[in-house]
Chain A
Amino acid sequence: MNVIPRIVPLSEQGLTVEFGETIDLQTNKLVLDFAATVERATIPGVMEVVPTYRSATIYFNPLLTDAAAVTAQLRLLLATAFPATDPAHTTHHIPVCYGGELGPDLIDVAEQSGLTPAQVITLHASVTYHVYMLGFSPGFPYLGMVPDRIVAPRLPTPRKQVAAGSVGIAGSQTGIYPQASPGGWRIIGRTPVHLFSLTRPQPFLVAAGDQVQFIPIDMEEFRDLSSDHT
């Protein structure tokens, strides 16, 4: 490993292991490999591991262990060559109906980038995205990076309500709102796929480290697929 991660206390119950300060694939893969390694190591007293773009926070129960013991274990794991990204990570094919009322910001994104809406769609669906992390709301995947031509800033004022399944762009990130919520990303389409369902053994469809490929569909297919999912 060519970086020496910093371990800093988040609280008396959490330690954050920082692998970098930027959004980049190499850093994030280190984070995810490390997070998976910590989970497999089942360190006594460790409750939960939360990977982000560039760090992994390890939450522990101070009644069962202490920061020094956990830090020692984490350093040990950092010193060993933890395995490369788990090949079991899934590629998800997510159908998206772009534009219209399902993608109210598609035209703005196109105008701002000097492209036609069709070109924005082609570019957005041309990339296999890496899932950097989940956050913001249950099951919300942060995906990157969108092609440079369709990078678009957040809305100046967030919407009070973004529909479930909405696919948006914020800077060079793209993401999917798993459920209706307020949101400031530019919405270019919507997927009929449910990103989480508590009736599934694994409630969340997408995990950090997975890959996402968007498949453009039309309104008719969107309706068909929507009824399949209900």
Chain B
Amino acid sequence: MEGFPLYGWTMPPDQPPIHVLRPGLFTTIQDLGRYGYQRFGVSVSGAMDRWALVVGNRLLGNPDQAAGLEITIQGPELLFEQALSLAITGADLSPTSNGRSLPMWTVIPMPAGSRLQFGMRRQGARAYITIAGGIDGPLILGSRSTHVYSGWGSLAGRALKKGDQLGVGLGGTMSAQYVGRALPASHRPQYRTSPTVRVVPGPQADRFTENALQVLVGSPYRVTSESDRMGYRLRGADLIHRTSADIVSDAVTFGTIQVPADRQPILLMADCQTTGGYATLATMIAADRSLAAQLSPGDSLSFVVITPDKASDLFRSTHAELDRLLPPRSVSDSRAFL
């Protein structure tokens, strides 16, 4: 976006330590999103798999909201001009450095002049590169997240391209104190291509026929190729409205399952708009967003309905479990990451 002031740079960008040699399929800068401006139509955006991003940040001693790179299916090739430490979390896309295989979910030192590459996709769809100090860039309304639909965020609101140079936040390039720190193997997620996610009934569930929720949970839905950070178009059994699919626009959120007139559900994801005009049948719970974030077209998704109280319990237990494993840098930071 032209004319945006570069708020929030913490380091002069004259010596950006990271060079983008190849951008990968779709690599964007993401943090925990842009809150407080949904009433102005500003999408929250942020990492699709927030849990994976936060694990990387906590391993490195970064604040939860530090920005990292979200990589989709096929990773970039990066050259590090200066020594720094990083962690790679989320999908396993076979990261290597100068021919050596790199461990996932572990703080790794990257010497000056080293390269990071990715290879075969082993599991999941989205990996995160978090860097000690965080990826730097302009803070726009409190976030560095890229929202390509509105052209907002770092790098003029677009995905990485060849020749880009990325800066790192203050202190990042000299921090080595957490090298070797890792998420215990027993807590590393196994991403499946046909997970079951939990949902709560949505605000317009009563606009569907009585058995629509049973139909939703009755058989899996396939993730179609019309799927991106904004939402996944799913294909499966028809979800039938009582009358019309159209409603007077209402707020929607990451996880909303809306159903247009073609009776096939759309699962809204991180870059979704703030409001929508289709009846919503259910909302995927926040604790299961990571499972959905790791899907790609051709994978499938099953649903199970739980109560909002149970969803709240899972929200809290997911945070408490990670706090126990990897405490946040600041205990005063009570902001939820999901």
Report whether B255 and A52 are in contact in the complex, using a CB–CB cutoff of 8 Å.
no
* Cβ contact within 8 Å between A18 and B141: no
A-B contacts besides A12-B311, A23-B248, 7 pairs, CB < 8 Å? A11-B283, A52-B251, A52-B275, A59-B253, A61-B335, A63-B316, A135-B274
**Is B308 touching A64 in the complex (CB atoms < 8 A)?**
no
A48-B248 CB under 8 A given contacts A18-B203, A61-B334, A64-B334 = no
Contacts A134-B40, A135-B41, A137-B149 given; does A11 touch B200 at CB 8 Å: yes
Beta-carbon nearest neighbor of B337 in chain A: A63
In residues 226-249 of chain B, which contact A (Cβ within 8 Å)? 247-249
A22 touches B248 (CB 8 A): yes
Tell yes or no: A67 within 8 A of B by CB: yes
Please encode chain A, from 190 to 215, with 1 for each CB lying within 8 Å of some chain B CB and 0 for all others.
00000011110001100110000000
Q: Is B150 an interface residue (CB 8 A)?
A: yes
In the complex, identify which listed stretch (B1-9, B96-104, B164-172, B175-183) lies at the interface while the others stay far away: B1-9
Q: Mark B301-313, 1 if CB is under 8 A from A, else 0.
A: 0000000110110
Q: Which 9 A-B pairs have the closest CB atoms?
A: A57-B251, A12-B311, A135-B275, A134-B41, A8-B203, A11-B283, A135-B41, A9-B308, A12-B312
Q: Chain A interface: which of B30-38, B48-56, B80-88, B129-137? A: B30-38
Most chain A C-beta atoms within 10 Å of own C-beta, residue among B140, B250, B285, B314? B250
Contacts of B7 in A (CB 8 A): 198
Interface residues of B in 108-147 (CB under 8 A from A): 140-141
CA distance A208 to B256 in the complex (A): 24
Which residue of chain B is the closest to A60 with respect to CB atoms? B336
Which one, B3, B39, B201, B335, contacts A50 given CB within 8 A?
B39
B26 at the interface (CB under 8 A from A): no
- Whether B249 contacts A50 by the Cβ 8 Å rule is no
Complex: A135 Cα to B37 Cα, angstroms: 10
Asked if B275 and A11 make an inter-chain contact with CB atoms under 8 angstroms apart, the answer reads no
Which chain B residue lies CB-closest to A203?
A: B141
Other-chain residue from B35, B41, B283 in contact with A137 (beta carbon distance below 8 A):
B41
Q: Separation in Å of the B117 CB from the closest CB of chain A? A: 35
Q: State whether the Cβ of B273 lies closer than 8 Å to any Cβ in chain A.
A: yes
Size range of the interface on A?
Answer: 35 or more
A13 touches B315 (CB 8 A): yes
Residues in A whose Cβ lies below 8 Å from that of B308: 9, 11-12, 67
For B314, list chain A residues within 8 Å (CB): 12
Cβ of B47 < 8 Å from any Cβ of A?
A: no
Closest to B306 in A: A12
- Contact status of A16 and B248, CB under 8 A, knowing A11-B285, A48-B38: no
Q: How far is the CB of B34 from chain A (nearest CB, A)?
A: 9
Min CB–CB distance B50 → chain A (angstroms) = 13
Q: Which residues of B contact A180 (CB under 8 A)?
A: 151
B202 within 8 A of A: yes
Q: List 22 interface pairs A-B (beta carbons < 8 Å), by A numbering.
A: A9-B200, A9-B201, A13-B286, A13-B336, A14-B251, A16-B251, A48-B38, A50-B275, A61-B336, A62-B315, A62-B336, A133-B275, A134-B41, A135-B274, A137-B273, A138-B150, A181-B149, A198-B4, A198-B7, A199-B3, A207-B39, A207-B40
- State the Cβ distance, A18 to closest chain B Cβ, in Å: 7
| Complex alpha-carbon distance, A204 and B150, angstroms | 15
Q: How far is the CA of A207 from the CA of B38 in the complex (A)?
A: 12
CB distance from A84 to the nearest CB of B (A): 20
Q: Are A63 and B319 in contact (CB under 8 A)?
A: yes
B173-211 to A contact mask, C-beta < 8 Å, 1/0: 000000000000000000000000000111100000000
Question: For chain A residues 1-54, which have a beta carbon within 8 Å of chain B?
Answer: 8-14, 16, 18, 21-23, 35, 47-54
Docked CA distance A52–B202 (Å): 17
- Measured in the bound complex, the distance between the Cα atoms of B41 and A142 in whole Å is 11
B283 contacts A10, C-beta separation under 8 Å: yes
Name the B residues within 8 Å of A54 (CB-CB): 248, 250
- Docked Cα-Cα span, A114 to B70, in Å, equals 52
Chain A residues near B248: list those with CB within 8 A.
Answer: 21-23, 52-54
User: Taking A10-B283, A133-B275, A198-B7 as contacts, is the C-beta distance between A138 and B42 under 8 angstroms?
Assistant: yes
Asked if A48 and B336 make an inter-chain contact with CB atoms under 8 angstroms apart, the answer reads no
User: Contact: B150 with A52, CB < 8 Å?
Assistant: no
Smallest Cβ distance from B307 to chain A, in angstroms?
9
Instruction: Tell me the minimal C-beta distance from B270 to chain A in angstroms.
Output: 14
At the interface, yes or no: A129 with Cβ under 8 Å from chain B? no
- How far is A18 from B37 in the complex, measured between Cα atoms in Å? 20
B221 at the A interface (CB under 8 A): no
Rounded to whole Å, the gap between the CB of A12 and the closest CB of chain B is 4
At the interface, yes or no: A66 with Cβ under 8 Å from chain B?
yes
The answer to whether B285 touches A12 (Cβ under 8 A) is yes
Give A197 to B3 CA distance when docked, in angstroms: 9
